[in-house]
C-alpha cells in the first residue's frame, strides 16, 4: 500500500516539476495522507533510526532549518529537509515520498522539518522528534492563526505530551516561549535535570554524561541595547504566569529580551548559548536563528570548526535575503510577512544603507487577507524620505496610505508623492524600480509571502526552488 502511495507520489511530483507547477512539495503527501492517514507513522516505523528535528515559530523557521541542514551536511550527516517551506503534514509526507525508496526506506540520518504554528500539535501526534526548536511567537495573520496566546496554549499542550527522549530548545528571550519551558519543568518536577549553565558551552563539546545532559536548552542574546521598552507591536509583554507587566534589562527587538517579572519573580531562564563567532546573515533576527541552529548542533557534539565553516558557506534560503542578479543589477529579497519581520527587514536594510526599496503587499491566503498589520510596522523609524520607494501588490494603495502617513507628505497624488511611486502591475513595478536603481546600488524588495513567490517567478522564472 505505502509503496504504491510513494510510487504515485513520485509520479505526481515528477509531473508537477516538469510542468513547473510547484506543487511537488505538497500534492504527493496530500494524496498519500488522504488514502492512508497513518502514512507518516508507517514510513517512520520502517525507518526507526531516522532522527527528526522540528523547528516552529512565527519567524525564522526556513532560515533556521536551512542553517541546521547546512551544518549537519558539513558534518557528513545525511539530511532530508522540507526546504521549499511546505510545512504542513502534507509537506512532511511529501518529503518522505520524494526521498524514500519504493520499499519505503529512507537512507538518511536526520529529517529537518520546519513546521507551521498551527500544525505543530498535529505533527507531534504523528511522530516523536529527537529535537523541537521553538523560535518565537509574534502576531501574524490573525485571521488565520488567531491570537498569539491561542497558539501558545496549543503548543503548551502539545509539548507537555513529549517524553524525555525529545530535547526541547527554546528562545529564552521570548517570554511566552520561555514560559513553555518553565511550565514544562514545573510539571515534570525532579524528573527533569537542571538546565545547563551558560558557561557550559565554553567547553568544546557536550559530555555524554547523563547528569549534566538536559532535555531543555535555552538560547538568547546578551547584547547591550539602547531600548528597555518593548516595541509597539509587541504581544507578550505581560507575565505569562501572573499577568504583571514585564520589566526588561535589555531588548533586542519586539518583545524579545532579558525579561523578568517584578511581581512573581519569574525571569529569563539561564542561557546555554548567547553568542557565536560567525553570523552568516545580517539582522538581529538572524542572530537568534543562528544561535538556535548552533545550540542544536553543539548538543549533537558537532565540532565548532565544522559549524564555523558551515556558517561561512551558508547561502540564504529562497526569499530570505536571497540575492538575484537581473541584467547586471542586484536585487535582494527580504520576505516581510508580519509586523516583526517587516520591522527587522526595514532595520536591516536601513543599516545596509538602502537607497532603493520596492514593497509588495498582497492579501492572498498565505499573506493573511487582513492587511491591518502594516500599521503595526514602524516605518516612521526606519524609512528615510530620500529613499526611492516603489509600492506594488494587490493592496498597493493600502501600503501607499501607510507610507504617506509615516512621512511628512501633505498633498499626495495617487501615483507619485515625492519619491513614493505606486504601480499595481508587479512586472511594471519591478522594471520601474530596477530602472531607478543605479548599477552600483542594490534594489531591496520587501514582499509578503505570495508576493515573494510572484517576484521570484518574474525574476527567475520559478516560484520556489
Smaller CB distance to other proteins: residue 147 or 425?
147
Which of 198, 236, 202, 241 has the alpha carbon at shortest distance from 218? Answer: 198
First to last CA, the chain: 30
Closest contact distance (angstroms) between CB of 376 and other proteins is 5
Residue whose entry in the numeric block shows the C-alpha cell 512586472: 427
On whether the CB atoms of residues 192 and 246 are closer than 8 A, the answer is no
> Kind and range of the H or E element at 35?
helix 27-35
Closest contact distance (angstroms) between CB of 407 and other proteins is 9
Smaller CB distance to other proteins: residue 57 or 368?
368
Cα(306)–Cα(173) distance, rounded to whole angstroms? 27
Closest contact distance (angstroms) between CB of 149 and other proteins is 5
> Kind and range of the H or E element at 260?
strand 256-260
On whether the CB atoms of residues 206 and 217 are closer than 8 A, the answer is no
Closest contact distance (angstroms) between CB of 445 and other proteins is 21
Residue 87 per-residue DSSP state: -
Closest contact distance (angstroms) between CB of 175 and other proteins is 13
On whether the CB atoms of residues 106 and 43 are closer than 8 A, the answer is yes
HSE-CB at 308 with a 13 A cutoff on CA atoms is: 7
Sign of CA dihedral 59, 65, 68, 70: negative
Closest contact distance (angstroms) between CB of 262 and other proteins is 14
Residue 205 per-residue DSSP state: S
Cα separations in angstroms, 181 against 141, 236, 237, 294: 25, 15, 17, 19
Smaller CB distance to other proteins: residue 308 or 398?
398
Question: Which residues on neighbouring strands pair with residue 390, listed in sequence order?
Answer: 358, 421
**DSSP for 311-329, written as a single string:** HHH--PPTTEEEEEEETTE
Which of 49, 65, 153 has the alpha carbon at shortest distance from 115? Answer: 65
* Residue 412 CB burial class (10 angstroms; 0-12, 13-18, ≥19): middle
Smaller CB distance to other proteins: residue 39 or 373?
373
Smaller CB distance to other proteins: residue 324 or 401?
401
For residue 166, the SS3 value is coil
Smaller CB distance to other proteins: residue 147 or 381?
147
Closest contact distance (angstroms) between CB of 422 and other proteins is 8
Cα(198)–Cα(334) distance, rounded to whole angstroms? 33
Which of 282, 321, 281, 286 has the alpha carbon at shortest distance from 442? Answer: 321
Smaller CB distance to other proteins: residue 203 or 410?
410
Binding-site ranges for other proteins (CB under 8 A): 139, 142-143, 147-149, 230, 232, 234-235, 237-238, 243, 245, 369-376, 394-395, 397-398, 400-402, 404-406, 410-414, 417, 422
Smaller CB distance to other proteins: residue 255 or 463?
255
Closest contact distance (angstroms) between CB of 401 and other proteins is 5
Closest contact distance (angstroms) between CB of 139 and other proteins is 7
Question: Which residues on neighbouring strands pair with residue 81, listed in sequence order?
Answer: 112
Smaller CB distance to other proteins: residue 231 or 290?
231
In our burial notation (b when 16+ CB lie closer than 10 A, e otherwise), range 198-229 reads eebbeeeebeeeeeeebbbbbbbbeeebeeee
Closest contact distance (angstroms) between CB of 375 and other proteins is 3
Smaller CB distance to other proteins: residue 194 or 370?
370
Closest contact distance (angstroms) between CB of 296 and other proteins is 31
Smaller CB distance to other proteins: residue 319 or 393?
393
Amino acid at each position: 500500500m505505502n509503496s504504491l502511495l510513494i510510487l504515485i507520489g513520485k509520479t505526481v511530483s515528477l509531473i508537477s516539476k516538469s510542468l513547473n507547477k510547484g506543487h511537488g512539495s505538497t500534492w504527493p503527501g496530500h494524496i498519500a495522507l488522504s488514502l492512508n492517514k497513518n502514512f507518516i507513522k508507517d514510513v517512520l516505523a520502517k525507518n526507526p533510526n531516522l532522527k527528526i528535528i522540528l523547528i516552529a515559530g512565527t519567524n525564522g523557521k526556513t532560515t533556521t532549518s536551512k542553517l541546521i541542514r547546512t551544518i549537519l551536511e558539513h558534518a557528513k550527516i545525511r539530511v532530508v529537509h522540507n526546504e521549499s517551506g511546505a510545512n504542513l503534514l502534507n509537506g512532511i509526507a511529501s518529503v518522505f515520498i520524494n526521498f524514500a525508496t519504493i520499499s519505503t526506506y529512507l537512507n538518511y540520518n536526520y529529517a529537518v522539518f520546519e513546521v507551521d504554528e498551527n500544525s505543530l500539535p498535529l505533527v507531534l501526534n504523528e511522530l516523536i522528534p529527537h529535537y523541537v526548536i521553538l523560535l518565537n511567537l509574534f502576531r501574524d495573520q490573525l485571521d488565520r492563526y488567531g491570537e498569539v496566546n491561542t497558539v501558545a496554549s496549543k503548543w503548551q499542550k502539545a509539548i507537555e505530551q513529549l517524553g524525555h527522549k525529545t530535547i526541547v530548545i527554546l528562545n529564552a528571550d521570548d517570554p511566552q516561549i520561555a514560559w513553555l519551558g518553565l511550565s514544562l519543568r514545573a510539571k515534570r518536577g525532579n524528573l527533569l535535570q537542571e538546565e545547563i549553565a551558560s558557561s557550559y558551552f565554553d567547553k568544546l563539546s557536550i559530555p555524554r554524561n547523563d547528569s549534566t545532559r538536559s532535555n531543555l536548552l535555552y538560547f538568547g542574546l546578551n547584547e547591550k541595547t539602547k531600548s528597555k521598552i518593548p516595541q509597539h507591536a509587541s504581544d507578550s509583554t505581560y507575565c505569562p504566569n501572573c499577568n504583571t507587566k514585564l520589566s526588561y534589562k535589555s531588548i533586542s527587538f519586539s518583545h524579545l529580551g532579558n525579561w523578568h517579572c517584578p511581581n512573581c519573580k519569574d525571569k529569563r531562564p539561564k542561557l546555554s548559548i548567547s553568542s557565536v563567532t560567525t553570523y552568516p546573515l545580517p539582522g538581529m533576527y538572524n542572530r537568534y536563528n543562528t544561535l538556535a541552529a548552533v545550540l542544536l548542533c553543539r548538543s549533537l557534539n558537532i565540532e565548532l570548526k565544522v559549524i564555523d565553516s558551515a556558517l561561512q558557506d551558508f547561502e540564504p534560503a529562497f526569499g530570505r535575503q536571497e540575492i538575484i542578479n537581473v541584467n547586471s543589477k542586484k536585487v535582494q529579497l527580504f520576505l516581510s510577512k508580519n509586523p516583526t519581520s517587516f520591522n527587522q527587514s526595514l532595520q536591516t536594510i536601513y543599516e545596509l544603507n538602502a537607497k532603493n526599496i520596492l514593497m509588495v503587499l498582497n492579501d492572498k491566503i498565505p499573506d493573511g487577507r487582513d492587511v491591518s498589520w502594516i500599521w503595526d510596522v514602524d516605518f516612521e523609524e526606519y524609512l528615510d524620505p530620500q529613499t526611492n520607494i516603489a509600492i506594488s501588490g494587490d493592496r498597493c494603495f493600502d501600503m501607499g496610505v501607510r507610507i504617506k502617513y509615516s512621512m511628512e507628505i501633505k498633498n499626495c497624488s495617487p501615483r507619485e508623492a515625492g519619491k513614493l511611486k505606486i504601480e499595481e502591475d508587479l512586472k511594471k513595478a519591478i522594471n520601474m524600480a530596477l530602472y531607478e536603481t543605479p548599477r552600483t546600488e542594490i534594489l531591496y524588495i520587501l514582499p509578503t509571502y505570495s508576493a515573494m513567490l510572484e517576484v521570484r517567478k518574474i525574476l527567475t522564472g520559478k516560484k520556489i526552488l
